[in-house]
Amino acid sequence: MELWSLLPVPVQSLIATVLIILPLLGVVAWYTYAERKVIGYMQVRIGPNRVGWRGLLQPIADALKLMMKEIIIPTQANKQLFLIAPMISIIPALAAWAVIPFDAGLVLADINAGLLYVLAMTSLGVYGVIIAGWASNSKYAFLGSLRAAAQIVAYEIAMGFALVGVLVAAGSLNFSAIVMAQQGGVWHWFWLPLLPLFGVYYISGVAETNRAPFDVAEGESEIVAGFHVEYSGMAFAIFFLAEYANMVLIAMLTTLMFFGGWLSPFQGIPVLESLFAGVPGIIWLLIKTFFFMFTFLWLRATFPRYRYDQIMRLGWKVFIPITIVWILVVALAVVFEVSPWWSATA
Amino acid sequence: MLDNYLHILIFILVASLISIAPPILGSLLGPRRAYAEKDSPYECGFAAFENARMQFDVRYYLVAILFIVFDLEIAFLFPWAIVVKELGMAGFMAMFVFLGILVVGFIYEWKKGALEWE
């Protein structure tokens, strides 16, 4: 500990950054494996099972294969933008993790504007998609990026309103404060008083990451792969990484804002609370996050793709009215200090 | 306090490195055997007969404009949301009026058909 505080601050943050990003990349890599395995079993297949024990080394094999592949740059493509687009996708997807708290006090950058920063970072992701589709100079890529852009901005509004509801309830932009505002066991977490906002946020998160059933931007059967049809090898892998990093991020944010982050679900329950008192907060956080990551895969295996007009109708005509009404409801509840969530003592 | 923003800056720099490294690695390890057909835009088995810079539906443009309006509203709501508890009823009523005007605009564009998509 003393040695740690002796290190210059940039070195400290460099070490902490690596300690966050490396496990994150590991989670992302094996998330792709989990996806193939989970969807495989849901469709009564067994999924990858050749590389390593039960296919556990499949992500490494995939990464090596992609590394050895040619990165094709189409002649008609806008070369600089074509190469920059994947970077613009992944940098915000990773950078948002700088403010995520993993346990009480276990956070790299404990800034007051944490949620604002994450909202800004996740909003930047859409530029990667638009630039990729434009720079490819291919019809399918262009159509895919148009669809993706319109869809992402439509759901970003619903998502932003849902976040405003969380802010009203928590009274802070700081993630640690948002989690601490949910203390008191599973019924005090915000998913209950903010239930409609939780639903809107999670579904918008699925739509924002262009995941099934909202994956018209990729639409394999109609526009082949959408905005990244012209990308190959490692350039494609970056888009892939960004998509999965964003999914993990959405799962983590859902946990932090609606499911009490690192808090134990048994707070205030007589026997269970002491029984599980020894479990570190990060374990609870990871259990909850992994559950939401699983639901992403579950959705993909269960639902057929939405039609584009249905997607836009859901975003504009259903989600936005719901969130506006519920923001007012929550604001009233906060002003009148409705217990048990906003009682005067809390 | 400023340390926190230094952490973020370094985090973003590391993230940038991670985004640059794989394509460089890929271009070093991978082959580069270009020919005209491979480097042409993707098409399902025939030569592309139309430029990709084509006309597109004006609705996409409309959605982008509506997005700017609503996203700005959200930006206005953020500071209010933090302090609504301290402001009490007066703060709630002020934002109620603001949201009311927003909803009137929303209903207008709904009735005008700006949200229709067929």
Structure confidence by residue, pLDDT tens digits, A9-51: 788 788 888 888 899 999 999 999 999 999 999 999 988 888 8
Q: Which residues of B touch A335 (CB under 8 A)?
A: 84-85, 88-89, 91-92
Structure confidence by residue, pLDDT tens digits, A76-117: 778 888 888 888 889 999 999 988 898 887 888 888 888 889
Enter the ipTM: 0.87
- Taking an 8 Å cut-off on Cβ atoms, the answer to whether B30 and A108 are in contact is no
Give the gap in angstroms from C-alpha B113 to the nearest C-alpha of chain A: 11
CB atoms within 10 A of CB A126: 21
SS3 breakdown of chain A: % helix, strand, coil, rounded to 5? 70, 0, 30
Q: Which of A74, A150, A308 sits opposite B39 (nearest CB)?
A: A74
Backbone Cα Rg of chain A: 21
C-alpha span between B82 and A341 (Å, rounded): 16
The residue of chain B with its CA nearest to that of A332 is: B92
> Which of A148-182 are b and which e, b meaning 16 or more Cβ less than 10 Å from the residue's Cβ?
bbbbbbbbbbbbbbbbbbbbbbbbbbbbbbbbbbb
Which residue of B70, B103, B104, B109 to mutate against A (max A Cβ within 10 Å)? B70
- Taking an 8 Å cut-off on Cβ atoms, the answer to whether B26 and A139 are in contact is no
> Which of A218-237 are b and which e, b meaning 16 or more Cβ less than 10 Å from the residue's Cβ?
bbeeebbbbbbbbbbbbbbb
Structure confidence by residue, pLDDT tens digits, A142-184: 888 888 888 888 888 899 999 999 998 888 888 888 888 888 7
- Taking an 8 Å cut-off on Cβ atoms, the answer to whether B15 and A95 are in contact is yes
Structure confidence by residue, pLDDT tens digits, B2-11: 778 888 888 8
Q: Which of B10, B42, B91 sits opposite A224 (nearest CB)?
A: B42
Mean pLDDT, to the nearest integer, of A247-265?
A: 89
Give the gap in angstroms from C-alpha A99 to the nearest C-alpha of chain B: 8
- Residue A262 pLDDT exceeds 70: yes
Q: Which residues of B touch A111 (CB under 8 A)?
A: 4-5, 8
pLDDT computed for residue A220 by the predictor: 66
The answer as to CATH 1.20.58 being correct for domain B2-112 is: yes
Nearest alpha carbon to residue A244 among A300, A325, A160, A181: A300
Give the gap in angstroms from C-alpha B23 to the nearest C-alpha of chain A: 5
Helix, strand or coil for residue A234? Answer: helix
Q: Which residues of A touch B33 (CB under 8 A)?
A: 70
Q: Which residues of A touch B40 (CB under 8 A)?
A: 74-76
Structure confidence by residue, pLDDT tens digits, B26-84: 888 878 887 877 777 777 766 666 676 777 777 888 888 888 888 888 888 888 888 88
pLDDT computed for residue A346 by the predictor: 46
C-alpha span between B90 and B17 (Å, rounded): 49
Identify residue A35 by its one-letter amino acid code. E
Q: Which of B10, B77, B103 sits opposite A164 (nearest CB)?
A: B77
pLDDT computed for residue A1 by the predictor: 58
- Residue A204 pLDDT exceeds 70: yes
Mean pLDDT, to the nearest integer, of A182-191?
A: 82
The residue of chain A with its CA nearest to that of B100 is: A324
Minimum mean pLDDT among A135-149, A201-215, A245-259, B38-52: which range?
B38-52
The residue of chain B with its CA nearest to that of A165 is: B81
The residue of chain A with its CA nearest to that of B8 is: A98
pTM assigned to the model:
0.91
C-alpha span between A193 and A213 (Å, rounded): 27
CB contacts < 8 A, A to B, total 218
The residue of chain A with its CA nearest to that of B23 is: A234
Average per-residue pLDDT in chain A? 85
Structure confidence by residue, pLDDT tens digits, A45-67: 988 888 888 888 989 898 888 88
- Residue B20 pLDDT exceeds 80: yes
The residue of chain A with its CA nearest to that of B88 is: A335
- Taking an 8 Å cut-off on Cβ atoms, the answer to whether B23 and A71 are in contact is yes
Mean pLDDT, to the nearest integer, of A124-145?
A: 85
